[in-house]
Amino acid sequence: MTIFGQREHFSKEEFKRDENSLLYRFSSPENYNSESLERYPLLIFLHGAGERGNDNEIQLSYVDKIFGSEEFRYEFPCFVIVPQCPEDKRWVEVDWGLPSHTQPEEMSISLKLTMALVYETMMNYRIDTQRIYVVGLSMGGYGTWDLITRFPYLFAGAIPICGGGDEKVADKIVDVPVWAFHGAKDKAVPVDRSRNMINTIKENGGNPKYTEYPDKGHLVWTSAFETEGIWEWLFSQTNNRIKE
């Protein structure tokens, strides 16, 4: 797929809840009509630590050329939410360099706001609730694992890239389609963080996909995004596990 990125498709938005706010970029399918009966998937993208801030711009760095391309928008019409985590916050408030962590009892404020935004978007737009996806890299990979273990009945598919989760709760996502990516020489996030999550899911009867790059370090997301069939795989997932 030839990519020609266009940020013009992403409006700058701010979501407020109580005294807190979340900056985010939002994209709708081409020619979206709220009066139509057609419903569309919702894709949430969680950026890495380097894209934190308050400019509501830099979080698009690695995905505007993908999600904003005419080819992608034509082949995979969907809503896209790209929130921005503030500089002093994390999607999951844990140390990324540790060999393991225990999932915090509560979500970080940034993830709480993101999920509140997701539910509001589901109410206000014609979202296909059986096709809600989350993709995240590095710090966002942690956020991706965190979200699907907290909301296993919501997400139809997930792509966590060079992140990590709590293996003790991995049994909750045996039925969630996951395709994880990591570099074997990653010095920022130990590769065992992905390996352990994948192995635990398999031990509990799941069938996740995993791609490991033997000669790559931390910056593997470009390679992951260019993997043949990755987006076809994600958008082919349908969630039949939704609880009323």
Q: What is the mean pLDDT of residues 204-226?
A: 97
Residue 17 lies in a domain: yes
- List CB contacts of 224: < 8 A, sequence separation 6 or more: 137, 159, 161, 181, 211, 230
Which domain does 94 fall in, by range? 7-235
pTM, full prediction: 0.95
Residue 70 class from Cβ within 10 Å (0-12 exposed, 13-18 middle, 19+ buried)? middle
pLDDT at residue 228 in the model: 97
Segment 197-212, tens digit of pLDDT? 999 999 999 999 999 9
- 144 close to 121: Cβ distance less than 8 angstroms: no
Helix, strand or coil, per DSSP, at residue 213: strand
4 pLDDT higher than 70: no
The answer to the question of residue 121 being in a domain is: yes
Q: Is residue 243 a part of any domain in this protein? A: no
Number of domains the chain contains: 1
Is residue 56 included in any domain, yes or no? yes
Tens-place pLDDT, residues 164-200: 999 999 999 999 999 999 999 999 999 999 999 999 9
Please report which confidence band the pLDDT of residue 61 belongs to, taking 50, 70 and 90 as the band edges.
very high
Phi, psi of 84 (to 5 degrees): -120, 125
What is the layout of strands, in order, in the sheet containing 40-46?
A: 11-17, 20-27, 79-84, 40-46, 127-137, 157-161, 179-183, 209-213
Q: Which domain CATH number covers 158?
A: 3.40.50.1820
Six token digits for residue 170: 């991995």
Instruction: Classify residue 11: in a domain, yes or no.
Output: yes
**Average predicted confidence (pLDDT) for the chain:** 95
In a domain, 63, yes or no: yes
Assigned domain for 146 exists? yes
Confidence band of 240 (pLDDT split at 50, 70, 90):
confident
Reading phi first (left if > 0) and then psi (alpha if -120 to 50, else beta), residue 62 is in alpha
pLDDT of residue 31: 87
Is the confidence at residue 5, as pLDDT, over 60?
no
3-17, 27-41, 140-154: least confident range = 3-17
Q: What is the pLDDT of residue 242?
A: 59
Examine residue 207 and state whether it is found in any structural domain, yes or no: yes
DSSP 27-49: E--TT--TTSS--EEEEEEE--G
Q: What is the pLDDT of residues 15-24, one digit of tens each?
A: 999 899 999 9
